[in-house]
Amino acid sequence: MINRFGKNRAKLKTKILLLIFLILLIQITIISSLSLFIFNRQITRTTELELARELESTKLSLEGLKNRLYNRIHLLKYTLESMKEQELNRLKLYDIINTHFSSIKADRAVLLNEDGTTIFSIHREGSIYPVEKELNLNDFRFVMNKIVLSGEEKAGLYLVSGTKIYHNSGKNFFLFFINNLDNNFANNLFKETGINFALFSEDSILSTVVPEFKLPENTTANTTLIWISSIPYQARIEMISTDIPEGVTLVVLRSALQDNLYKRQLTSIFLASFFITLIISLGYAVGITNRILIPFYELNTWMSKYLETGTLGELTIERRDEIGFLTQTSKTIVQKLISEENIIRKQLDEISFLNKYNTEIMHNLKAGVLMADYNGTISFYNNYIDSLLDLKGLDIREKSIEDIFISYFTPEGDWPNFPTIDLTLEKEYPVRLTTGISEEVKFIVKISPLPESSGSRKTLIVLEDITATERLWNRIMVTEKVSSMGLLSAGMAHEINNPLGSILSHIGYLKTVETDDEKIDSIKWIESETRRIGDIVMKVLTFSRTSENVNEPSDINNIINEVIDISKFSIKNRMIEIKKKLYDKESLLSSISKDEFKQIFLNLFLNATQAISDSGVVAIETKKEIDYILIIISDSGHGIKAKDLKNIFNPFFSTKALKNTSGLGLSITYSIIQKAGGDIEIASTPKEGTIVKVKLPVLEQEDIKI
């Protein structure tokens, strides 16, 4: 291998040299091209800004001319209308108008009779087309400026400022100041501003400073390039008037010769710099290639001996620069890789063991577990699913999860488009399965998308049997007494806590032996969810446990939250919204015992939810008044008839449709409240809902005995 490397040494050197040279060449090319682009762009941008400024300046000059003519016409109108009738002779009018005409930049002044006949006209040198004959005099009943395109063969553009003069003698005139916007006008304006411009009507040029040219077709850019007599001009085009149907377009021109010359000089400088830099870079590449290769020759020899013998020899690098550091780092990396290879082998054995262990746990869970990809294809299912569905050896892997649900389950409650499942969202669906012995079994299907692993997206689907839980709740509903829940929840807690303890024990073991970060995250997730189950069980026990100290004060808000939390299951499959507005400035303490208030609120809360058929709202609000606590429970249910309101506190009286209700709920509630020194009021409107107000004595913090 060493000999072969020696033979290829020259090739390697050539390749590295070419590589360095190529990198330098690319860098120089990119920098040079980018610089040229930036400079050219800046020149173009500067030209655009100058053209925009010159366009605005030319427009302002034209507007200034309009304003001067307008103001002078307005002044003459006032002067002539104020003259006496005997002064309205041709000579007097001529002197007044000529005086004003001499002081403004107008080419012609015309005074017309009201019928349009010319009284006289004043003009400067040269002949001017009598454009006033083409004017619609009705347009000038008041002072105004207007741009007019003459109808002669060679069209001319005129700026006309005029007005009708109304004399109190009844003798009226039309007065006009007319400017010919021709090449002479353009040249005079150029002398003032130094700006090249031209005026167009459609494709016809009307006046220009430069030789005549044609506008480019369909241009939408801010600036465009126009060639005039073999000279390039940058032009900016804008329509400035719509007084005539064809419109008047202003074109501002700027010679591009200077910009092009500057660009060519700049390009020549950059090209010269490019080649000089390229030659220098070539020499630099040769030197750096030799400096880089020598340590790599030694590193290659050392690595070759290791591959042949399996042992690491000595490698001494005298250099203390980056190349020497790289060589020493490579040696350290090889040693670390060998050490990590042994660790990885050990970890793979442990992962294999943990995988089998986790699979056993999944198979022994008392819940159905399936794994599917985002397309709904099943990749795993546990023994509980096998037993539940009575598969008898049928392998449902690679089957569609939707096919399984439609074959074995029926939806309960809200499951739109059953059996379609969105496996990308965390959600729960209630379902029902009927076994061969006609026993109804209900489940909650929990959809939990898992984090992406190795490009694969999986979803965990858990079927939790809620049949026993629903039966427990039905018993609570029938008895309507909180005390019976203690026995039921104790048995449930014993059955759940035993397997939970076993699962948490195994999870603790897995946490101590697992080293893979991804699996550790999964184990922590399992532990978190398992402990959540335990917390739920403890909530049930805490709610149902009878307090040993019956005189202990009640925290009203806490008990309300506990009752709602434990009662949510009864409305899980119904569209009932619970709204809470609890007094939160301080704790609401009452002298009534915790167990008694639990029974009170549970009875009232159940009555409110049972009064709602399919969907509605149950609102709970607490307030602290001066000497009592007010609890308001309202619902949007069917309400209570007026004839039944007087009997609702009577024992065994009930308005519920359930056959197994005892009718003692409100009677017991009323008895407990009266005994505690409180009061209860019920108001109801049929088909609108019911409002229950409970008043309980308030217990201040200083009254509590420690």
Rounded Cα distance between 65 and 391, Å, is 98
Question: Which amino acid, one-letter code, is at 590?
Answer: S
- Looking at residue 482, its pLDDT comes to 43
Distance CA 447, CA 363 (A): 18
Burial of 64 (0-12, 13-18, 19+ CB in 10 A): exposed
With CA atoms as reference, report the closest residue to 692 among 615, 608, 616, 611: 608
Provide the 10 A C-beta neighbour count for residue 438.
6
Structure tokens at 584: 């939160």
Distance from the first to the final alpha carbon of the chain: 89
Helix (H, G, I), strand (E, B) or coil at 149: strand
Radius of gyration for the chain, computed over Cα atoms and rounded to the nearest angstrom: 49
pLDDT, tens digit, 9 for 90 and up, residues 129-157 = 788 888 888 888 888 888 888 766 556 88
| In the predicted structure, residue 548 carries a pLDDT above the cut 60 | no
The reply to whether 548-703 shares the fold of 185-255 is no
pLDDT at residue 269, as a whole number? 76
Q: Which helix (H) or strand (E) holds 462?
A: strand 458-465
What percentage of the chain reaches a pLDDT higher than 70? 78
Q: SS in 3 state form for 487-531?
A: HHHHHHHHHHHHHHHHHHHHHHHHHHHCCCHHHHHHHHHHHHHHH
Number of H helices, E strands in the chain: 15, 23
Question: What are the domain boundaries of the chain?
Answer: 2-44+274-301, 83-181, 185-255, 351-539, 548-703
- Tokens representing 56 are 């605005």
* Structure confidence by residue, pLDDT tens digits, 489-525: 556 666 777 787 778 878 887 888 888 888 888 888 8
Q: What is the pLDDT of residues 259-276, one digit of tens each?
A: 666 667 777 777 777 778
Hey, which residues does 637 pair with through a beta bridge?
none
Write out the DSSP string of 58-78. HHHHHHHHHHHHHHHHHHHHH
Taking phi first (over 0 means left), then psi (-120 to 50 degrees means alpha), and beta for anything else, what does residue 639 get? Answer: left
Instruction: Annotate 518-585 with DSSP letters as a single string.
Output: HHHHHHHHHHHHHHHHHHHHHHHHHHHSPPS-TTSPEEHHHHHHHHHHHHGGGGTTSEEEEEEE---S
Look at 278 and 438; give whichever has higher pLDDT: 278
Residue of 540, 541, 549 lying closest to 591 (CA atoms):
549
Over residues 226-231, mean pLDDT = 80
Q: Give the right CATH number for 185-255 from 3.30.2400, 3.30.450, 2.60.40, 3.90.180.
A: 3.30.450
Of 222-226, 351-355, 652-656, 700-704, the poorest mean pLDDT is in 700-704
For 645-667, how does the pLDDT look when each residue is reduced to its tens digit (9 = 90+)? 777 777 666 776 554 455 667 77
Kindly tell me if the per-residue pLDDT of 170 is higher than 60. Answer: yes
Q: What is the pLDDT of residue 458?
A: 85
Q: In 3D, which of 415, 424, 475 has the Cα closest to residue 660?
A: 475
Residue 438's pLDDT is 43
The superfamily CATH assigns to domain 548-703 is: Histidine kinase-like ATPase, C-terminal domain (3.30.565.10)
CATH fold of the domain at 351-539 = Beta-Lactamase (3.30.450)
Lowest mean pLDDT among 96-100, 116-120, 288-292, 397-401: 288-292
Please state the rounded mean pLDDT for residues 176-189.
Answer: 86
In this predicted structure, which of 95-109, 462-476, 540-554 has the lowest mean pLDDT?
540-554
Rounded average pLDDT over 238-246: 78
Does pLDDT of 411 surpass 90? no
For 324-370, the pLDDT digits (tens) are 677 667 767 766 776 776 688 788 888 877 777 777 777 777 788 88
Is the pLDDT assigned to residue 74 strictly greater than 50? yes
Q: What pLDDT is recorded for position 490? A: 58
Mean pLDDT across 665-693? 86
Nearest partner of 684 among 616, 571, 608, judged by Cα: 608
Residue 361 identity:
I
pLDDT at 171: 85
pLDDT of residue 691: 93
CATH code matching the domain that covers 83-181, chosen among 1.10.3720.10, 1.10.287.180, 3.30.450.20, 1.10.760.10 = 3.30.450.20
Q: What pLDDT, on a 0 to 100 scale, did the predictor assign at position 484?
A: 45
Owner of token pair 């969810």:
529
Burial of 87 from C-beta contacts in 10 A (0-12 / 13-18 / 19+):
exposed
More confident site: 358 or 191: 191
Which is more confident, 650 or 584?
584
Q: Which residue has the higher pLDDT, 385 or 479?
A: 385
CA nearest neighbour of 676 among 623, 597, 607: 597
Sole residue written with tokens 């090249």? 196
What percent of the chain has a predicted confidence (pLDDT) above 90?
5
Distance of CA 209 to the CA centre of its chain: 55
Q: Give the confidence band of 436 by pLDDT, cuts at 50, 70, 90.
A: very low
**pLDDT of the residue at 477:** 47
Tell me if 554 sits within 8 A of 705, measured CB to CB: no
How would residue 205 be classed by pLDDT, with cut points 50, 70 and 90? Answer: confident
Rounded to the nearest integer, the mean pLDDT of the chain is 78
d(CA 169, CA 89): 13
Q: Which residues pair with 677 in a beta bridge?
A: none
Q: What is the pLDDT of residue 211?
A: 82
Provide mean pLDDT across the span 533-544.
Answer: 63
Among 52-66, 113-127, 648-662, the range scoring the smallest mean pLDDT is 648-662
Mean pLDDT of 532-542: 67
